[in-house]
C-alpha cells in the first residue's frame, strides 16, 4: 500500500538565483519528467535527509509538462542547505498536498487581480502561468507585486520579458524605497492597490505575501469593491506530515496542510484569530 | 458467552501466547502497571489501569519510518516497512479501547497511515470490564460504558473466573483458538457484575459531569474566554498530560544519521511545547495560554467539529492523576461550561 510519508527522490537539474536570498530549484524525476502532477497553489514536502523536511509551494504551473519548480528563501536549516548545494544534487519530494486555487472552478471566466509581496509571488506564479497557458479562459489580469528593492523582486526577468507581453496582462511593480536605476512605482503594496482603481466586477483577487502586507491589503481590496468571497490567499504554518495528522498546522478546526493552504477570506473569518 | 475458570488463566495466556505475542498489564518494580509481554510465570496486574495508555501498541512513542542511503549527490529512498506480527492485547480498559476508535478517525482516514493500519490489522484487543472504577474516572461523560467495553473480545472478571464475549471476527477466532479451556455460560453472572459496578460508577465524584454545552461549533464562544488565563497560568508545559493521554496523537518527524545512512523516525510530540509550531519566520502560539488552549480546544471543540460530534477525550483520568500542578481537562470543561463559576 502506498504511504504518503515516503517521498520520491528527485534531481535538482537547474538552480536559478532570483534575489540575494531566493533561489528557484528545478526538480525532475531521475528518469526525467515530473515526479507527480499538481494543481496551482498546491505544495510539496521537500527534504534533504539528515537535514530537515519542509512544506514549500510548487511555483511552476501544472501546464509545464517537464519539471516542477520551487522558489525558496534562505531562512533556516533546510533552506540554507538548499542554497549551498549544486545542480545535479538529489533531494526528496512528496505531495502534492493541500487545496489548490480554484482555477477551473471559481476563477474561470473572471478578471484576476494578483497581489503579492516578496517571496509571496511564488505560489501565485503557478496560477499566473496557468492563466497564461489557458489565456482564453480568463479576462483581464492585473499583477500588483512589490518588494523591498529591485533586487528583491523574484522572477524579474520572467515578469518583464513574458508576463508584460501577454495580452491583457497589466503588471504593476513597486518597491518600498526610492533606488538608483528604478523609475517605476515606489511605495507599499496595500497603498498601490488603492491608487490603481481596480474593478471588482466579475473579478477575483489572489493575495500572498508577508502577514503585514495581507493585513493592510484586505481592507483596500474591500474598499475597491471586492467582497471577501472574491478574495483568496494561501497560508503557511509549521508542518510535519502534510496530511492533517501530525496536529501541527491547525487554525481552529482547519488544518492548513489539507483544508488549505488556499483559503477564501470569508472562510478565514470562521476561524479563530491564531495565525 | 464463554467462561474461563480462574485456575485456567495461566494456561489460557500460554495458549494465546503460542499463536501471537501476548501483552497484558503487569506491575513494574515501583508497583505501577504497564503493558508487558507475557511469558511463563508472569502475573497480570490487579491495578485499575496502566500508567501509560495502550496507544503505544498502535502508535508507538517512536518508530522508524524509512531510511535513506546518501552517496555523493545521489539519494536512495528505502521503504523499510514490514508486515507486523500478530499480537494480542489483554486487559485493555473501556476508556483505552474507545481511544483506539478516536485514533482510527485520524490515522485510518484517507490518506491512510499505513504504519498504524498495519498494527491495527494485526492486533487483537481483549478488553476487561472495570471492577473498581476510581474517583478520577469519567468515561461515562463521553458515553463509554466501563461495564461493557468495546474490543474484539470483552472480558468480565467474576468471582471464580472470567466471562468472555467475542465482538468481532478476530475475537471469534481468538476464542476458537482456546476453545478447549472455555465452557459455555449464560449472561446472568455478567449482568450481576455490571449492576454492582454501575452502582459504584453512579457514586463517583465525576459521575455528574456531562458534555452539555461543549463540542461542535463552540470555537467562537470559547476561544476568547477569559478563563483560559487562570486555567493555564500554572501550566509548566511539561507535556505529561499529552504523554499519558490515550487520544493525543500529534507527532514529530525527524532524521537520525546512523553513520551509514539516514533513518527517518517519528515520535510523539506535544502541542504544549513551545517549539511545536515554531517556524523560521515566527510562531503563531508564543504563550503557554495559547498552547494550553489549543490542547483543550482540540479535544473539546475542534475534534468534535471534524468527527460527527465525538469528543477527543475518553475520561481515563490519567491527566487528573499525573499533572504536576493538578490542572486537567475536567477543570477546563467545568470552567468553560460554567463561565468560571466553579473555579
Q: Which residues contact B71 (CB under 8 A, 6 or more apart)?
A: none
Contact B68 A3 (CB under 8 A): no
Is A8 within 8 Å of chain B by CB?
A: yes
Q: Which residues contact B47 (CB under 8 A, 6 or more apart)?
A: B25, B27, B32, B33
Q: How far is CA B80 from CA A87, A178, A237, B84, in A?
A: 29, 56, 29, 12
Give tens-digit pLDDT for A18-56: 999 999 999 999 999 999 999 999 999 999 999 999 999
Rounded to a whole number of angstroms, the distance from the CA of B288 to the nearest CA of chain A is: 14
Strand partners, A108: none
Q: Which residue in A13, A28, A53, A90 has the most chain B C-beta atoms within 10 A of its own C-beta, making it the best mutation to test that interface?
A: A90
Hey, what's the cell of A188? 507599499
Tell me the pairing of strands A111-117 and A203-208.
parallel
Contact A246 B251 (CB under 8 A): yes
pLDDT of the residue at A274: 82
Q: Which of B68, B223, B294 sits opposite A49 (nearest CB)?
A: B68
Cβ–Cβ < 8 Å for A76, B280: yes
Q: How far is CA B91 from CA A267, B57, B152, B262, in A?
A: 45, 13, 12, 38
Rounded to a whole number of angstroms, the distance from the CA of B265 to the nearest CA of chain A is: 11
Closest CA to B141 of B302, B321, B311: B311
Is A84 within 8 Å of chain B by CB?
A: no
Q: Is the dihedral of CA B313, B316, B321, B322 positive or negative?
A: negative
Strand partners, A15: A25
pLDDT of the residue at B179: 96
Q: Which of A8, A50, A238 sits opposite B279 (nearest CB)?
A: A238
Cβ–Cβ < 8 Å for B193, B129: yes
| Beta-carbon contacts below 8 Å between A and B | 115
Give tens-digit pLDDT for A110-156: 999 999 999 999 999 999 999 999 999 999 999 999 999 999 999 99
Cβ–Cβ < 8 Å for A122, A114: no
Contact B66 A79 (CB under 8 A): no
Hey, what's the cell of B121? 490489522
Contact B219 A271 (CB under 8 A): yes
Q: Which residues contact B101 (CB under 8 A, 6 or more apart)?
A: B150
Containing B126, the helix (H) or strand (E) segment is: strand B123-128
Average pLDDT of chain A to the nearest whole number = 96
The angle, 0 to 180 degrees and rounded to 10, between the axes of the packed helices B94-107 and B114-122 is: 140
Q: How far is CA A117 from CA A180, A225, B293, in A?
A: 21, 21, 32
What percent of chain A shows pLDDT beyond 70? 100
Contacts of A252 in chain B (CB under 8 A): 219, 223, 297, 302
SS3 (DSSP) at B51: coil
Residue A231 in this model has a pLDDT that exceeds 90: yes
Instruction: Please tell me the number of Cα atoms within 13 Å of B65 on its side-chain side.
Output: 24
Q: What is the DSSP string of B194-242?
A: HHHHHHHHHHSTTTT---TT-STT-HHHHHT-THHHHHHTT-----HHH
Containing B318, the helix (H) or strand (E) segment is: helix B318-322
Q: Which residue in A247, A255, A258 has the most chain B C-beta atoms within 10 A of its own C-beta, making it the best mutation to test that interface?
A: A247
Closest chain A residue to B267, measured at CA: A246
Contact A88 B73 (CB under 8 A): yes
pLDDT of the residue at B342: 42
ipTM score: 0.93
Alpha-carbon span A156 to A151, nearest angstrom: 9
Contact A246 B75 (CB under 8 A): no
Q: Between residues 81 and 140 of chain B, which touch chain A (CB distance below 8 Å)?
A: 81, 106-107, 111-115, 117
pLDDT of the residue at A1: 82
Counting Cβ atoms within 10 Å, is residue B173 exposed (0-12), middle (13-18) or buried (19+)? middle
Alpha-carbon span A241 to A257, nearest angstrom: 8
Contacts of B249 in chain A (CB under 8 A): 245, 247
Q: What is the pLDDT along chain B (343 residues), one digit of tens a residue?
A: 999 999 999 999 999 999 999 999 999 999 999 999 999 999 999 999 999 999 999 999 999 999 999 999 999 999 999 999 999 999 999 999 999 999 999 999 999 999 999 999 999 999 999 999 999 999 999 999 999 999 999 999 999 999 999 999 999 999 999 999 999 999 999 999 999 999 999 999 999 999 999 999 999 999 999 999 999 999 999 999 999 999 999 999 999 999 999 999 999 999 999 999 998 888 999 999 999 999 999 999 999 999 999 999 999 999 999 999 999 999 999 999 987 444 3
Contact B250 A246 (CB under 8 A): yes
Cell 498546491 belongs to residue: A42
Closest CA to B61 of B237, B313, B328, B248: B248
Give Cα A150 distance to the centre of its chain. Answer: 19
Is B74 within 8 Å of chain A by CB?
A: yes
Cβ–Cβ < 8 Å for A74, A21: yes
Q: How far is CA B328 from CA A253, B188, B331, B341, in A?
A: 21, 38, 6, 17
Instruction: Please tell me the number of Cα atoms within 13 Å of A220 on its side-chain side.
Output: 20
Alpha-carbon span B319 to B98, nearest angstrom: 17
Cβ–Cβ < 8 Å for A89, B75: no
> How many C-beta atoms surround the C-beta of residue B132 within 10 A?
11
pLDDT of the residue at A275: 80
Give A262-265's long-range contacts (Cβ < 8 A, gap of 24+).
Answer: A262/A41, A262/A98, A262/A99, A262/A100, A262/A101, A262/A102, A262/A232, A262/A233, A262/A234, A263/A232, A263/A233, A263/A234, A263/A235, A264/A228, A264/A229, A264/A231, A264/A232, A265/A218, A265/A228, A265/A229, A265/A231, A265/A232, A265/A233
Q: Which of B269, B284, B298 sits opposite A274 (nearest CB)?
A: B284
Domains detected in chain A: 8-97 (2.40.30.10), 111-234 (3.40.50.80)
pLDDT of the residue at B282: 87
Contacts of A9 in chain B (CB under 8 A): 75-77
pLDDT of the residue at B341: 43
Q: Return the CA Rg of chain B.
A: 22
Amino acid at each position: 500500500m502506498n504511504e504518503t510519508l515516503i517521498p520520491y527522490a528527485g534531481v535538482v537539474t537547474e538552480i536559478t538565483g532570483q534575489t540575494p536570498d531566493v533561489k528557484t530549484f528545478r526538480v525532475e524525476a531521475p528518469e526525467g519528467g515530473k515526479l507527480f502532477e499538481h494543481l496551482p497553489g498546491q505544495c510539496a514536502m521537500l527534504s534533504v535527509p539528515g537535514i530537515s523536511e519542509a512544506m514549500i509551494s510548487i511555483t511552476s504551473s501544472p501546464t509545464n509538462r517537464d519539471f516542477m519548480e520551487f522558489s525558496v528563501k534562505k531562512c533556516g536549516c533546510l533552506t540554507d542547505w538548499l542554497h549551498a548545494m549544486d545542480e545535479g544534487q538529489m533531494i526528496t519530494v512528496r505531495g502534492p498536498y493541500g487545496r489548490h486555487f480554484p482555477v477551473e472552478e471559481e476563477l474561470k471566466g473572471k478578471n484576476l487581480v494578483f497581489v503579492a509581496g516578496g517571496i509571496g509571488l511564488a505560489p501565485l506564479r503557478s496560477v499566473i502561468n496557468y492563466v497564461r497557458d489557458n489565456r482564453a479562459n480568463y479576462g483581464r489580469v492585473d499583477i500588483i507585486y512589490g518588494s523591498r528593492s529591485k533586487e528583491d523582486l523574484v522572477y524579474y526577468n520572467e515578469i518583464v520579458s513574458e508576463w508584460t507581453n501577454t495580452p491583457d496582462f497589466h503588471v504593476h511593480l513597486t518597491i518600498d524605497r526610492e533606488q538608483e536605476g528604478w523609475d517605476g512605482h515606489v511605495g507599499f503594496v496595500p497603498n498601490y492597490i488603492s491608487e490603481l482603481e481596480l474593478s471588482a466586477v466579475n473579478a477575483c483577487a489572489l493575495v500572498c505575501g508577508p502577514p503585514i502586507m495581507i493585513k493592510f491589503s484586505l481592507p483596500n481590496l474591500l474598499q475597491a469593491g471586492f467582497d471577501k468571497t472574491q478574495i483568496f490567499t494561501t497560508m503557511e504554518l509549521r508542518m510535519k506530515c502534510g496530511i492533517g495528522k501530525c496536529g501541527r498546522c491547525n487554525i481552529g478546526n482547519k488544518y492548513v496542510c489539507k483544508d488549505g493552504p488556499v483559503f477564501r477570506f470569508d472562510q478565514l473569518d470562521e476561524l479563530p484569530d491564531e495565525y | 458467552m464463554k467462561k474461563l475458570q480462574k485456575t485456567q488463566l495461566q494456561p489460557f495466556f500460554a495458549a494465546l501466547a503460542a499463536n501471537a505475542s501476548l501483552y497484558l498489564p503487569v506491575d513494574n518494580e515501583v508497583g505501577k502497571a504497564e503493558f508487558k509481554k507475557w511469558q511463563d510465570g508472569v502475573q497480570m496486574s490487579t491495578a485499575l489501569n496502566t500508567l501509560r495508555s495502550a496507544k503505544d501498541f498502535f502508535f508507538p512513542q517512536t518508530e522508524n519510518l524509512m531510511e535513506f542511503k546518501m552517496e555523493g549527490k545521489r539519494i536512495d529512498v528505502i521503504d523499510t516497512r514490514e508486515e507486523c506480527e500478530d499480537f494480542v492485547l489483554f486487559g485493555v480498559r473501556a476508556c483505552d479501547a474507545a481511544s483506539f476508535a478516536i485514533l482510527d478517525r485520524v490515522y485510518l482516514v484517507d490518506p491512510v497511515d499505513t504504519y498504524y493500519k498495519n498494527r491495527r490489522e494485526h492486533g487483537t484487543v481483549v478488553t476487561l470490564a472495570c471492577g473498581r472504577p476510581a474517583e478520577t474516572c469519567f468515561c461515562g461523560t463521553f458515553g463509554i460504558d466501563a461495564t461493557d467495553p468495546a474490543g474484539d473480545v470483552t472480558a468480565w472478571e467474576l468471582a471464580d473466573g472470567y466471562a468472555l464475549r467475542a465482538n468481532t471476527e478476530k475475537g471469534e477466532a481468538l476464542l476458537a483458538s482456546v476453545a478447549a479451556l472455555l465452557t459455555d455460560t449464560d449472561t446472568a453472572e455478567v449482568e450481576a457484575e455490571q449492576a454492582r459496578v454501575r452502582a459504584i460508577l453512579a457514586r463517583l465524584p465525576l459521575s455528574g459531569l456531562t458534555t452539555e454545552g461543549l463540542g461542535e461549533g463552540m470555537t467562537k464562544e470559547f476561544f476568547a474566554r477569559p478563563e483560559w488565563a487562570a486555567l493555564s497560568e500554572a501550566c509548566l508545559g511539561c507535556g505529561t498530560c499529552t504523554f499519558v493521554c490515550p487520544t493525543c496523537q500529534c507527532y514529530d518527524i525527524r532524521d537520525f544519521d546512523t553513520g551509514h545512512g539516514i533513518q527517518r523516525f517519528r515520535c510523539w510530540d506535544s502541542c504544549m511545547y513551545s517549539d511545536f509550531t515554531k517556524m523560521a519566520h515566527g510562531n503563531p502560539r508564543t504563550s503557554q495560554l495559547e498552547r494550553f488552549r489549543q490542547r483543550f480546544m482540540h479535544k473539546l471543540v475542534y475534534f468534535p467539529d471534524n468527527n460527527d460530534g465525538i469528543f477527543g477525550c475518553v475520561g481515563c483520568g490519567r491527566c487528573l492523576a499525573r499533572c504536576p500542578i493538578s490542572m486537567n481537562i475536567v477543570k477546563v470543561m467545568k470552567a468553560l461550561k460554567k463561565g468560571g463559576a466553579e473555579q
